[in-house]
């Protein structure tokens, strides 16, 4: 055991606890359960082990409870202190992301408008060429002017189709927008089995409730859970 740990456990006679634990382990190693008498000895050793575990746990709780209580008090206090800042941080991040999304929509709309105007300019240019070929120079000139106007408007729209920068640098700090993959639950029943976790706490509680009803009755055990096998196994209970 390190010196630091020994100092931390100073209120407890650690050496005596370790000696008892080693002695109990040695007693178990030397005991062969091959007769009723040996089984009786084993029961006695198990009772001593159980007593030792209770006493050691009581010592451990005696040492750590004040520390755990203090840690909980500190954590609760700082959680309360930080709550307004956490709320403000979440709200302001949302505002920045909302602004970015709005600017992205504007840029996408401007890009779509620029493409529409370019197509419109190309179409008018072709119509002007056809009018010129058909001997209608006045019409051709009008169509050509409109094609030029559409092309100029397309350039303006394209210049305005600027997506917001994903990084903002200031003297105070830098923010950056990044895309991350996440998920939201839509239909639990459709989630593949390998992504699900069995709630063993609920299963064992259901078993305890059913066992109280059953209590050795010759009737079938009153609990079935699809996908699970309900069975009994032997455990050794020791009392002192």
| pLDDT tens, residue by residue, 199-211 | 999 999 999 999 9
pLDDT at 8: 53
- 20 contact partners, CB below 8 Å, separation of at least 6: 52
Confidence of residue 95 (pLDDT cuts 50, 70, 90): very high
Q: Residue 175 pairs with which residues in a beta bridge?
A: 168
Confidence of residue 10 (pLDDT cuts 50, 70, 90): low
| pLDDT tens, residue by residue, 23-32 | 999 999 999 9
Q: Residue 169 pairs with which residues in a beta bridge?
A: 174
**Location of structure tokens 């030397």:** 30
Q: Residue 176 pairs with which residues in a beta bridge?
A: 167
- For the record, the structure tokens of 7 come out as 């100092």
Give the CA distances from residue 235 to residues 103, 201, 232, 238, in Å, rounded to whole numbers and listed in that order.
67, 19, 10, 10
């Amino acid at each position: 055991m390190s010196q630091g740990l020994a100092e931390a456990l100073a209120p407890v006679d650690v050496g005596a606890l370790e000696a008892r634990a080693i002695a109990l382990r040695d007693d178990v190693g030397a005991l062969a359960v091959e007769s009723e008498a040996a089984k009786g000895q084993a029961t006695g050793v198990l009772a001593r082990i159980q007593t030792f575990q209770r006493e050691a746990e009581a010592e451990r709780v005696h040492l750590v409870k004040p520390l755990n209580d203090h840690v909980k008090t500190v954590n609760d206090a700082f959680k309360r202190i930080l709550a307004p800042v956490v709320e403000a941080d979440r709200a302001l991040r949302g505002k920045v992301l909302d602004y970015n999304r709005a600017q992205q929509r504007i840029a996408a709309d401007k890009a779509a408008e620029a493409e529409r105007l370019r197509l419109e300019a190309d179409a008018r240019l072709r119509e002007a060429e056809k009018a010129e070929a058909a001997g209608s120079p006045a019409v051709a000139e009008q169509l050509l002017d409109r094609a030029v106007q559409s092309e100029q408007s397309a350039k303006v729209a394209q210049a305005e189709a600027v997506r917001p920068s994903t990084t903002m640098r200031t003297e105070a700090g830098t923010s950056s927008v990044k895309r991350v993959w996440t998920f939201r639950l839509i239909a639990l029943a459709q989630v593949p089995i390998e992504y699900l976790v069995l709630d063993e706490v609920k299963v064992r509680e259901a078993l305890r409730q059913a066992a109280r009803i059953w209590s050795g009755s010759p009737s079938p055990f009153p609990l079935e859970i699809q996908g699970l096998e309900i069975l009994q196994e032997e455990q050794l209970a020791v009392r002192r």
